Amino acid sequence: MRALSKLLAHPATQGLDLDAPETTAQRREIVRSKAFLRAIYREWYEAIIQRLPPPPGAVLELGSGAGFLKEALPEVITSDLLPLPGVDRVIDARALPFEDGALRALAMTNVLHHVPEVRRFLAECQRCLRPGGRVIMIEPWNTWWSRLVYAQLHHEPFDPDAAEWTFPESGPLSGANGALPWILASRDRATLEREFPRLGVQEVHPIMPLRYLASGGISLRSLQPGWAHGLWRAAEALGGPLSRCCAMFAVIVIERSKADGGP
């Protein structure tokens, strides 16, 4: 399958430094140019917007570089670790430059599993979110199928057996553990809620066992034309529980407690 991955590799991504700003800019162009993948991103953004709590408070997106959430949610503050065209601010998820309780939501798409010191990030969420505020994210998920796909066709580490929530910090995109969202929201959920008592996992909704793979994602060539997206979406919906047990991603919502107004 490694040979297949090389064969299917998108030519625009070959030979690029994962952590260079121009690589993220190139990935943004890939997302926009692949109709099937662009439809997936639109669906992800709809899922995030549907789960936003009402004002007051700002909405911050972390890791905005390759995406286009601002087109669907114009008021969002976009950010990235890298200085990139079209991104409002350069922000590290571990040190958010906002006052206590200033945010109503943090939006993230394929970002959490790149945060090497996730406890620092969670502490910042607890501080910066207002009561009832939410972290809403689309992240890789751990199932028997996703483990196979991520291990064979993806360059990022995927280690659901990792004892710690940390991993070696190498760069914005090269450092990762794709299984980290599942570790936090499922395997170690009780630990998360004990260590951060004002945060609670409110929703975990596994999605997309096949569509992202069919799109080729950012790294591979598209395997399907854009017009086929609706057919694949309908097929996954018909799969019901089977689709969820084979999901490659999940919508995850972590909410700041409404009961305690303290920082």
Q: What is the pLDDT of residues 96-132, one digit of tens each?
A: 999 999 999 999 999 999 999 999 999 999 999 999 9
pLDDT tops 90 at residue 171: no
Instruction: Say what the pLDDT of residue 172 is.
Output: 64
Which amino acid is located at 138 in the chain?
A: I
Judged by DSSP in three states, 42 sits in: helix
* Distances in whole angstroms, Cα of residue 129 to Cα of each of 69, 107, 134, 167: 20, 12, 7, 26
- In terms of average pLDDT, the best of 21-30, 139-148, 221-230 is 139-148
Question: How many of the other CB atoms lie within 10 Å of CB of 260?
Answer: 10
CA dist 150 and 136 (Å) reads 22
CA dist 179 and 160 (Å) reads 5
CA dist 59 and 252 (Å) reads 16
| Token representation of residue 63 | 């890791």
Instruction: Say what the pLDDT of residue 240 is.
Output: 83
* Distances in whole angstroms, Cα of residue 253 to Cα of each of 56, 89, 108, 261: 18, 24, 10, 19
CA dist 64 and 239 (Å) reads 31
Instruction: Say what the pLDDT of residue 234 is.
Output: 94
pLDDT tops 50 at residue 66: yes
pLDDT tops 90 at residue 30: no
- At the fourth CATH level, the homologous superfamily of domain 2-256 is Vaccinia Virus protein VP39 (3.40.50.150)
Contact 254, 150 (CB under 8 A): no
Contact 236, 208 (CB under 8 A): yes
| Token representation of residue 122 | 């969670």
Closest CA to 95 of 72, 127, 73, 61: 127
pLDDT tops 90 at residue 71: yes
When pLDDT is averaged across residues 136-157 and rounded to a whole number, the result is 92
pLDDT tops 60 at residue 60: yes
Q: What is the mean pLDDT of the chain?
A: 89
* pTM attached to this predicted model: 0.92
CA dist 165 and 156 (Å) reads 16
Q: What is the DSSP letter of 172?
A: T
CA dist 194 and 199 (Å) reads 9
Instruction: Say what the pLDDT of residue 228 is.
Output: 93
Q: What is the DSSP letter of 65?
A: T
Residue length, the chain? 263
Percent of the chain whose pLDDT exceeds 70: 89
pLDDT band at 13 (very low <50, low <70, confident <90, very high): low
Contact 216, 10 (CB under 8 A): yes
* Distances in whole angstroms, Cα of residue 34 to Cα of each of 37, 110, 117, 233, 234: 5, 18, 33, 16, 20
pLDDT band at 11 (very low <50, low <70, confident <90, very high): low
Of 74 and 24, the structure prediction assigns the larger pLDDT to 74
